[in-house]
Chains A and B, each alone.
Chain A
């Protein structure tokens, strides 16, 4: 089981697969996807011209500035905020928080300017990698004490939780909802 130390999980997984490819021999995808050649793309280096040959990092910027005005300005209603707070247990706290949310939505709406007709949506940056299948062996478990150390309250090796989901109080009764900032 892989435990990662540090925040960049993706590069760790990439790194392992990269190392596997370079060492040759027992890599899974030696012949698995004959169409794609896996290049050592991490080092950008001299990648002018054909990115397929010399690496995946473009030398010149390829993005364009998108005009903000033609995009629809969406306002977030109080019902939607209540629904989001209930679902995800985020606390928007005050109107500044809501404005930040609206700006974030606007930023993401730039994607609508791109024409995606006939393009398959991408599910994962690892879409051309094989999902590693591990053997059905027992390799973990029996760490009850360590796990229970994290719990505030335990009863005879069980975790203790309240009797059910404690629902958020209704909109009218909540006093922290959308406080006016000082």
Chain B
């Protein structure tokens, strides 16, 4: 199985959409426990020219994540930060790099960076320095970007994330990736390429917006792990409020550095994959790049240290134009900015207002609960499984929905979670809606579950009601139940009469059961259900029938 996938991928030189699925599922199926080696070799059929290596390949993936800081104004100037605005309307003279302008650092951005550093277990540098990184591009009007290369704000942290492994994806493991540093830097403007008129249109609304660059050590070895780590970081940033981290709006940009090597040997040449704008594409892009490099090396070629872009339509990475080899950025200290000094409770001078200086301990006290802590609390409070709490937090707004339902219903949370994760989430995914767009409110779902819990309706009837509710015609669950007459028959007498009628009408089946074929009982139950149009409680019906037949 693995061999045929390899053969297909090796013999197909151009990437096709169908191959991507094979390429993506290949490694994860072959690997029993990640991060295991990707087995190559043992190919049947003809192999292309090149050595027949049986040694496993190990991929090394490192990420550089740029998160746009959620603030009112930009990092060094007082212009507004807004996603969609008329071009060049949110630009100050400093952002346009007109001569004679100077940067003035935004305190909110420093606080956001410190919060993120504390949440990722980093040590915060009390003194950090700003540098200039020089390169020429039309969307960088100054010709340099102010960043922190020598001494960033936070260093040496860690990020723990969970992912599902195993054949059926039901085993959750926790991995950790080390954070090398978190630094503050400026964003560049936006360029729109107009190839018909051979020009580029520059919009500087985004130039100068504060970014947090999170540099991770290359501890990951697959696209899946990278996607899980990015998702966890996204949740942390959204919980802290330091960034809204919406990848679709470009507030979270990920660049992946991918290389492959044999375990025990030196690290291979790495390539950088840019232009990934969703978490789904991240996993695919990295996996494609790993396979491409393995293929290249097995065919006797070499991997060039280059920058590649991910084309999501074709599902493959292509070399980027306009990137000339290895850049020399000529880093120099930013002369207009003295060192950034942060204090904590010990070094805080007396009589200073907390608004003039950034106090690390003050921020640490006010950190909200991180996602990992919230998951543990959910498990403790409601008795649900860790996998469930993972899914709850993963979907935007699902946890609040779940808690609202639990609050308004008498049903056990362990049963509610089944309804939420299996039924509701299934419907939402089917119709491609977010939790906020759900046509069924938490109140209605709670009412429905109450009806079910009290025994007013059966579980299959409940599913019918939910389907009706999904149409969002404004009817409450009770109204739908009454309209469609879905209530369970409460009257014992009526049920016994119906069972009696069925038993009398089907004497052959009764004979079969008495002979010792109990499965025919199900047919009788089915007949009762048909007569009552699904309004009989199957357990009760079975009891009555068995009592009748044993007489």
Contact = CB atoms under 8 A, between A and B. Distances in A.
Contact of A144 (B91, B129, B358): B91
B88 A124 contact: no
Given A1-B93, A129-B338, A163 B193 contact: yes
Contacts of B94: 1, 140
25 contacts: A1-B77, A3-B100, A31-B350, A32-B349, A88-B330, A126-B338, A131-B105, A131-B339, A131-B341, A133-B106, A137-B72, A138-B79, A141-B90, A142-B90, A144-B86, A147-B93, A150-B96, A155-B201, A157-B87, A157-B89, A159-B88, A161-B200, A163-B195, A163-B199, A164-B322
Given A2-B102, A140-B79, A162 B89 contact: no
Interface of A: 1-5, 9, 13, 28, 30-34, 83, 87-89, 123-124, 126-127, 129-144, 147-148, 150, 155-165, 167
Interface string B248-277: 000000000000000000000000000000
Chain A interface mostly helix, strand, loop or mixed?
loop
A120 to B, nearest CB: 11
Given A3-B100, A162-B199, 8 more contacts: A4-B100, A31-B352, A133-B106, A138-B73, A138-B80, A140-B94, A160-B200, A160-B202
B351 A30 contact: yes
A160 B193 CA distance: 10
A126 B351 CA distance: 23
B137 interface: yes
A163 B338 CA distance: 37
B106 A124 contact: no
B108 interface: yes
Contacts of B194: 163
Contacts of A123: 129, 333, 339
Given A131-B341, A156-B87, A160-B202, A137 B349 contact: no
**Range, interface on chain B:** 35 or more
B385 interface: no
Nearest to A129: B338
Nearest to A159: B202
Contacts of B92: 1, 140-141, 143
Given A83-B328, A123-B339, A124-B333, A157 B356 contact: no
Contacts of A163: 193-195, 198-200
B15 interface: no
A178 B138 CA distance: 28
B75 to A, nearest CB: 10
B73 A139 contact: yes
Find the residue from A4, A150, A155, A156 having the highest chain B CB count within 10 A: A155
Contacts of A162: 138, 198-200
A134 B107 contact: yes
A144 B77 contact: no
B101 interface: yes
